[in-house]
Amino acid sequence: MSKNVNTLKCRDTLKYSVLHDIVLVVLFLLPVMDSAAQTNEKTASMAQQFDTTSILLLLQEGSHLTDKKPEAALESFITAAERSRQLNFAKGLALSNAKMARWYFGNNSDKSIEYSRQALKYFEQDAASATDDKAEVHLLMAEAFDEQGRLDSSAYYYYLLGSEIESGNITNPKLAVDLYTKLAIFWINLDYGSKEGDEYFRTLKRFVDKAKMAAVSIKDSADAVSSVYFLQGAYFHALKKFDSARYYYNTYLQEREKLNKIVLARKISTLTNIADTYLQENRPDDAMQYINKVEAMVNAPQQTRYLVFYMLFTNLLKGKALYQQHKYMPAVDLLNETLEKLKTTGTHLRGELLDAYKTLANSYEASGDYKNALLQNNRYIAMYDSLMKKDKIDMINRLEIRYRMVEKDKALAEQKLKIAAVENRVRSRNYLIGGISFLAFFTAFGFVLWRRKNIHKQRLQQERIDNLQQKMEIERLNATIDGEEKERTRIAGELHDGIGSLLTAAKMNFEMVRRNSQYEHNPDFIEGIKLLEETASGLRETAHNIMPEILMQEGLSDAIKSFCERMTGKGGTVISFQTLGTAGEMDTSFYLPVYRIVQELIHNVRKHAKAATALVQMNFHEDGGLDITVEDDGNGMEITMIKSSAGMGLKNINERVKQLGGRIDINSIKGRGTSVYMEFEPGKK
Amino acid sequence: MISLAITDDQVIILNGLQKILADVPNIQITGIYNNGDELLEGLIKQQPDVLLLDIQMPGKSGVELAAIITKTYRNIKIIALTNVDVIAQIKKILQQGVMGYLLKDASPEKIVKAIETVYAGEQFIQEELKQQLLNSLSASNAKQIVTRREKEILQLIVDEFTNQEIADKLYLSLRTVENHRNNLLQKLDVKNTAGLVKVAIQEGLV
């Protein structure tokens, strides 16, 4: 009648029994007690005792007790929550709420969801909480919402978990296997109704493969292989290959029991699933065997309470078996009783429940109670519509599609990661090369800078040395000039005043002799006197040339002017002199050498230029500077001559101008004459 | 009779002159002095008609003495007697009111002629010096000549080159070009480049 797989098959892991009212009371009371007895030292010391480690140990202990002593387990969880609250221990609160949520799953789905939400809230507060712990709560919520027929919420959590696993955020392979198993079953149950086709099975197959892949990471190989058997069973169950399904279910039970790794809830799920396969084959007697196995297993009162939900669903299967055995009235009684009891275990809306109403309706019909048959059938139809709302299914399909896209993205991302890794290797190599080049470049650059700095320093030093040498040279020269000029002055004075006067006196005497004797007309005597005269004149000239007195007395301008006039007076080149500006005070050490330079230039003109006219121009600048031009209209010189040894005189003059700190510009045109321009800045020597 | 005083720091010159002039009938030597101070002292007692004055003497220079004497004793005619044949010097001394200028190696006849000439109230300057003096005076009145280099630069200024461009072109320093330019401004008596260009064209310098 239906191809659905009993959802009981996915009830497993931890479950805990009620007592939750007590928990609430305690939880409410604690803060009241705290505030009422703030000074109560006893309370304070109690709080001190519950350190976080003891709370975690208590929770672990509770987990171990769950299947054997579910009530005691729940007690442990409540105590842990209470102590965590006192210590404000977020992780403790989160974990204890998670455990309680799991415990209540088998008892009351509403409470299970409530505790799950609490747990998630506390996980939010605890930054260090493990992703795996949170994932378990998400899984529980997915199951609980599925239980209540809130498929969209359930799907949301399932696919959230799927994405988390794909992203690699969940590392526990057991949890992954669990997730894929439950997701597959969710998917199977979702197909309630008339879904056929390849897509459905492909999706299912994918979950099986995923679970297998996840199981590979489980260290113990026996554990790894066996953990997937349940899912494989469910897979064949869905494919309606019931023999294969039963084979895997049975193997699963055997293997897990061998490993002692099966919880009571999962055992019940597996057994009821086997029963369901028989029922789907319309073999109620075989089914009943497995149902009896379950009933035999859950007989202790605390277990009946803890697993009340599982038992009720087993009863639904039993009702169906009874119906198939044509025991309609017992079937109706059992189903009515069970459905009534189910109202106390939270909200339920699932395939099995629909099936139960259908069976109930059919049983009523078979027993001739058409009124009730119609009533139950209507309920069945209403529930079916509610569960199978099209928009819900669409949404879940969208989630599935998105989930696959996430997977594809992940594959793409992995590919990209590989490419990026290669690129990174290349890039890091390039960086290395770049870095080395950079370093090399900067080393070279630094070296060049250093070298340049050194060279610059050397140059500066050389310049300083040169400057010093120049200065010394000038000083030495000045000293030499000074000495030379002093000597010249002395010699000139000697010639002029001493020898000159003697000569003059001698001549005067001879003049007297001539006048007073017969020698007056003696030509030899007269020639002698003439020679004396010429000697005196020559001496005066020489003395003047050696040291022009006028230079000392009248200054450079007049001295040069006088010299020009004197030279013109001698015939040959007519030398004009012109001056601009006013001469300021000048140092002897400056105007003597300048005078000598001009003197030499004029001598050169007279000796070599064959010039008709020459011009000497002196311009005194306002700032104390001076420029002198000596220009002739003679035959000029070749430029090479100016620079070659033939121009020794000029070269000499060049040197002397530079020694005085002046500049010289010699400009000569062959056949047109030479122009020598000099400028001095006496103040800036 | 012309009374004459002689001032010279060199005894041989004094002796020589005395010998030369001893025979000249119309000249009577009334005073012999060895330096400026002696001269000024002597002049207070006795003033000659003509004074032969050496320009280069220790102590007061000839120019100074000439200035004092011409001011104090207007009637004394001074003849500078010197070895210095520098025009500037001659001009300076003449400006002080000195009537004659003789070089010491002048012939006795010339010396006598000079004394007689200045005594007569005329100027006497030795022939060769006179020519130099004239040359000098004419030169100083001559128009300023523009040098070839300056013309070259003037041409470039007219062609609208800047100082820096001229400097680069002629391998000169900027300062040198500025100097030439300033000289041109002064010589042509203009204030700016526009004036330079105008005058340059007017005078056919470019």
Domain assignments of chain A as residue spans, ordered by start:
7-395, 436-547, 554-684
Q: What is the pLDDT of residues B31-54, one digit of tens each?
A: 999 988 999 999 999 899 999 999
Q: Which residues of chain B lie closer than 8 angstroms to A627, CB-CB? A: 176, 179, 183
What chain B holds in terms of domains, given with CATH numbers, is: 2-140 (3.40.50.2300), 148-202 (1.10.10.10)
CB atoms under 10 Å from CB of A489, counted, come to 15
Q: From residue A667, how far is each of A580, A650, B105, B148 by CA, in Å?
A: 21, 12, 44, 9
pLDDT over 80 (residue A49):
no
User: Which stretches of A583-644 are assigned E, i.e. beta strand?
Assistant: 613-620, 626-632
Q: List beta partners, residue A617.
A: A578, A629
Q: Do A497 and B56 touch (CB under 8 A)?
A: yes
> What's residue B6's pLDDT?
93
Chain B residue with minimal CA distance to A506? B16
CB-CB neighbors (< 8 A) of B23 in chain A = 515-516
Q: Do B104 and A576 touch (CB under 8 A)?
A: no
Q: Of A507, A512, A665, which is closest to B176 when you measure between CB atoms?
A: A665
Residue A179 above 50 pLDDT? yes
- Cβ of B149 within 8 Å of Cβ of A665? The answer is yes
- Say if residues A372 and A127 touch (Cβ distance below 8 Å): no
Rg of chain B over Cα atoms, rounded to whole angstroms, equals 26
The pLDDT tens digits for A413-433 are 677 778 778 878 887 888 888
Q: How far is A425 from chain B (nearest CA, A)?
A: 60
- Least CB–CB distance from B16: residue in A505, A569, A679: A505
Mean pLDDT of A101-117: 86
Output the six-digit token pair for A587.
């140092």
User: What share of chain A has pLDDT > 90, as a percent?
Assistant: 7
In sequence order, what DSSP letters do the residues of A206-264 get, joined into one string?
A: HHHHHHHHHHHT-SSHHHHHHHTHHHHHHHHHHTT-HHHHHHHHHHHHHHHHHHT---H
CATH numeric code, A554-684 = 3.30.565.10
Taking a C-beta distance cutoff of 8 angstroms, is the pair A559, A547 a contact?
no
Q: Can you tell me the distance from the alpha carbon of A249 to that of A246, in angstroms, rounded to the nearest whole number?
A: 5
Residue A390: per-residue pLDDT = 61
Q: What is the mean pLDDT of chain A?
A: 79
CA distance, residue B150 to nearest chain A CA (Å): 10
Of the two residues A261 and A45, the one the predictor is more confident about is: A261
pLDDT value for A183: 80
pLDDT recorded at residue A668: 85
With a pLDDT cut of 70, the percent of chain A lying above it is: 84
Kind of pairing between the strands at B2-7 and B50-54: parallel
Residue keyed to tokens 């009863």: A315
Q: A478 versus B44: which is more confidently predicted?
A: B44
What are the chain B neighbours of A540 within 8 Å (beta carbons)? Answer: 83, 85, 103, 105
Residue B143 DSSP class: P
In A599-636, which positions are buried (b, 16+ CB within 10 angstroms) versus exposed (e)? bbbbebbbeebebebbbbbbbbbeeebbbbbbbbbbbb
Q: List the single range of A16-30, A102-116, A155-169 with lowest mean pLDDT.
A: A16-30
Region B104-130 average pLDDT: 87
Mean pLDDT of chain B: 87
- The predicted pLDDT at position B114 comes to 93
Residue B43 tokens read as 């002049």
Partners of A508 on chain B (C-beta within 8 Å) are: 13, 16-17, 19-20, 108
Q: In the block, which residue shows the tokens 């003439």?
A: A530
* pLDDT value at residue B177: 92
Cβ–Cβ < 8 Å for A66, A73: yes
Q: Identify residue B41 by its one-letter amino acid code.
A: E
- Least CB-CB distance to A667: which of B108, B149, B179? B149
Question: CA-based angle A222:A223:A225, to the nearest 5?
Answer: 65
A388 CA to centre of own chain: 51
For B70-203, where are the E strands, in sequence order? 77-82, 100-103, 124-125
Determine whether the interchain pair B89/A550 forms a contact, defined as Cβ–Cβ distance below 8 Å.
Answer: yes
**pLDDT confidence bin for A7, thresholds 50/70/90:** very low
Instruction: Write a three-state SS string for A590-602.
Output: HHHHHHHHHHHHH
Query: Which of A578, A658, A668 would you mutate first to test chain B, the one with the most B CBs within 10 A?
Result: A578
Within 8 A by CB and 6+ apart from A644, the residues are: none
Going from the C-alpha of A132 to that of each of A22, A94, B195, the distances in angstroms are 29, 13, 101
At A120-153, the pLDDT tens digits run 888 888 777 677 888 888 888 888 888 787 777 8
Nearest to B135 among A549, A568, A673 (CB): A568
> Which chain A residues contact residue B103 at CB under 8 A?
540
Higher pLDDT, A44 or A681: A681
Rounded CA-CA distance A324/A368 in Å is 16
Q: Is residue A472 pLDDT above 80, yes or no?
A: no
Quick check: A619 and B87 CB within 8 A? no
Instruction: Closest CB to A679: pick one of B85, B105, B176.
Output: B176
CA distance A357 to A363: 10
Are A550 and B132 inside 8 Å of each other by CB? no
The verdict on a CB contact (< 8 Å) between B89 and A663 is no
Whether the per-residue pLDDT at B113 is higher than 50: the answer is yes
Q: pLDDT value at position A19?
A: 40
A247 falls in which pLDDT band (50, 70, 90)? very high
> Quick one: average pLDDT of A339-359?
80
Arithmetic mean of pLDDT, A593-619 = 89
Provide mean pLDDT across the span B65-69. Answer: 90
Picking from B83, B180, B184 by the largest number of A CB atoms within 10 A of its own CB, the best residue to mutate is: B83
| Structure tokens belonging to residue A597 | 């330079």
Res A556: pLDDT: 87
CA distance A176 to A135: 10
Exposure b/e, B99-117, CB count within 10 A at least 16 = b: bbbbbbbbebeebbebbbb
Give the range among A179-193, B39-53, B82-96 with minimum mean pLDDT: A179-193
Short-list B36, B124, B112, CA closest to B79: B124
Cβ–Cβ < 8 Å for A300, A47: no
Q: How confident is the model at residue B4 (pLDDT cuts 50, 70, 90)?
A: very high
Q: What is residue A4's DSSP assignment?
A: P
Q: What pLDDT score does A9 carry?
A: 41
B100-103 and B77-82: which strand pairing? parallel
Whole-number pLDDT of residue A423: 79
- The distance of Cα A474 from the centroid of its chain, to the nearest Å, equals 66
Cα atoms in the Cβ-side hemisphere of radius 13 Å centred on A570: 13
Mean pLDDT for the stretch of residues B91-116: 88
Q: Phi and psi of B79, rounded to 5°? A: -120, 125
Select the more confidently predicted residue: A199 or B44.
B44
Task: For A666, list phi and psi in degrees, rounded to 5.
Answer: -105, 125
Cβ–Cβ gap A569/B132 under 8 Å: yes
Residue A246 has pLDDT above 90, yes or no: yes
Amino acid at A69: K
Q: Which of A165-179, A538-552, B155-169 has the highest mean pLDDT?
A: B155-169
Q: For the residues A401-421, what does the mean pLDDT come to? A: 71
Q: Residue with structure tokens 């290349």?
A: A426
Shortest distance, CA B134 to any CA of chain A (angstroms):
11
Structure tokens at B82: 């010197």
Using CB atoms within 10 Å of the CB of residue B48, give its burial: 0 to 12 exposed, 13 to 18 middle, 19+ buried. Answer: buried
Strand partners, A619: A580, A627
Distance of CA A17 to the CA centre of its chain: 53
B contacts of A544 (beta carbons < 8 Å): 85-86
Q: Three-state DSSP class for B97?
A: coil
Measured between beta carbons, the chain B residues lying within 8 angstroms of A676 are none
Nearest by CB to A536, from B105, B132, B179: name it: B105
For position A259, what pLDDT does the model report? 85
Q: How many whole angstroms separate alpha carbon A496 and alpha carbon A544?
A: 8
**Where do runs of H (alpha helix) occur along A496-611?**
500-516, 523-546, 549-554, 556-569, 588-604
- Pick the residue with more confidence: B191 or A149? B191
- Residue B132 class from Cβ within 10 Å (0-12 exposed, 13-18 middle, 19+ buried)? buried
Q: For the segment A533-570, what is each residue's pLDDT rounded down to a tens digit? A: 888 888 877 887 777 777 777 788 888 988 888 888 78
Which of B142, B149, B172 has its CB closest to that of A576? Answer: B142
Question: Is B183's CB within 8 Å of A619's CB?
Answer: yes
Q: Which residue has the higher pLDDT, A547 or A331?
A: A331
Is the pLDDT at A22 greater than 50, yes or no? no
pLDDT of residue B50: 94
Residue B145: phi, psi to the nearest 5? Answer: -90, 140
Separation of alpha carbons B67 and A322, rounded Å? 168
Q: Which pLDDT score is estimated for A616?
A: 93
Cβ separation A537–B105 shorter than 8 A: yes
Cβ <8 Å between A621 and B182: yes
Q: Give the distance from residue A507's alpha carbon to the nearest chain B alpha carbon, in angstroms.
A: 8
Query: How many Å lie between the alpha carbon of A452 and the closest alpha carbon of chain B?
Result: 28
Strand partners, B51: B5, B78
Query: What is the complex's ipTM, to 2 decimals?
Result: 0.72
| Inter-chain CB proximity B131 and A667 less than 8 Å | no
- A323-341 mean pLDDT: 88
What is the C-alpha to C-alpha distance for residues A409 and A387, in angstroms, rounded to an integer? Answer: 32
Q: Measuring CA to CA, which residue among B142, B70, B141, B130 is closest to residue B101?
A: B130
- Average pLDDT on A92-113 reads 86
Q: Any idea which of A192-196, A255-259, A360-364, B146-150 has the lowest mean pLDDT? A: A192-196
pLDDT at A23 over 90: no
> CATH fold of A7-395, please?
1.25.40
Chosen from A676, A677, A684 to mutate, greatest number of chain B CBs within 10 A: A677
- On whether the CB atoms of residues A536 and A592 are closer than 8 A, the answer is no
User: Which candidate, A142, A148, A191, places its Cα nearest to that of A163?
Assistant: A142
